[in-house]
Amino acid sequence: SQQGEEDPQALSIQEGENATMNCSYKTSINNLQWYRQNSGRGLVHLILIRSNEREKHSGRLRVTLDTSKKSSSLLITASRAADTASYFCATDYSSYKLIFGSGTRLLVRP
Amino acid sequence: DAGVIQSPRHEVTEMGQEVTLRCKPISGHNSLFWYRQTMMRGLELLIYFNNNVPIDDSGMPEDRFSAKMPNASFSTLKIQPSEPRDSAVYFCASIGQGGDEQFFGPGTRLTVL
């Protein structure tokens, strides 16, 4: 399977702390994307990092990409209770096909 | 913009019945995707349309599943006959020309008894 694997599967932190989620994949990619899914809802795109980029920021989000290790990390700084959700990495192997990982369930305790 | 619209939001049916899920992509988007999400298998791509033409249906699990996109603003995913193992949340997503970000609908939760 070309599916990305996320680590950890579940993460529980206190509000204000940072949350780090990792994603590993198997073959070369065009880009890697992170999505968030609130319970009972569809996925929402958070950030995209291209294969020639190493780090990208968007607000409280920081994404890194290490193509030599075929891995990416998503850092959420100063977490809030509203960040509670599942987070998925998705790897883009072709012009359209995204392969989603199994997700990390994040719980931010108030 | 209303985003991607899916209907129904919930569907409960009995084994053997036909199920039709509907999707309206974001206006102007030319690519549409159907996904299925289950606890066991995660999020799986079922079929991808580009300019209303099915490009990749390799993820469609069986002949019981079929999808159509008669025009740029409407797509259906049909399961006939439905089975309990088809129970899942089905998502539709669309993407604009040259875009990378997929916009997901709210999903249809299907329960087959």
Lookup result for tokens 């996320």: A6
CA-to-CA distance for B93 and A96, rounded, in angstroms? 12
Minimal C-alpha gap between B58 and chain A (Å) = 11
pLDDT of residue B98: 82
Of the residues A97, A99, A105, the best mutation for testing chain B's interface (the one with the most B CB atoms within 10 Å of its CB) is A97
- Assess whether pLDDT exceeds 80 at residue B13: yes
Residues B87-111, mean pLDDT to the nearest whole number? 94
Angle at A54 between CA A52 and CA A57, to 5 degrees: 120
The separation between CA B100 and the C-alpha centre of its own chain, rounded to angstroms, equals 19
The 10s digit of each residue's pLDDT in A75-94 is: 999 999 999 999 999 998 77
Minimal C-alpha gap between A45 and chain B (Å) = 6
Query: Does residue B29 contact residue B96 with C-beta atoms inside 8 Å?
Result: yes
List CB contacts (< 8 A) between B56 and chain A: 96-97
Q: Which of B4, B101, B105 sits opposite A45 (nearest CB)?
A: B101
Give the pLDDT band (50/70/90) at residue A1: very low
- Assess whether pLDDT exceeds 90 at residue B97: no
Between A53 and A2, the higher pLDDT residue: A53
Minimal C-alpha gap between B81 and chain A (Å) = 26
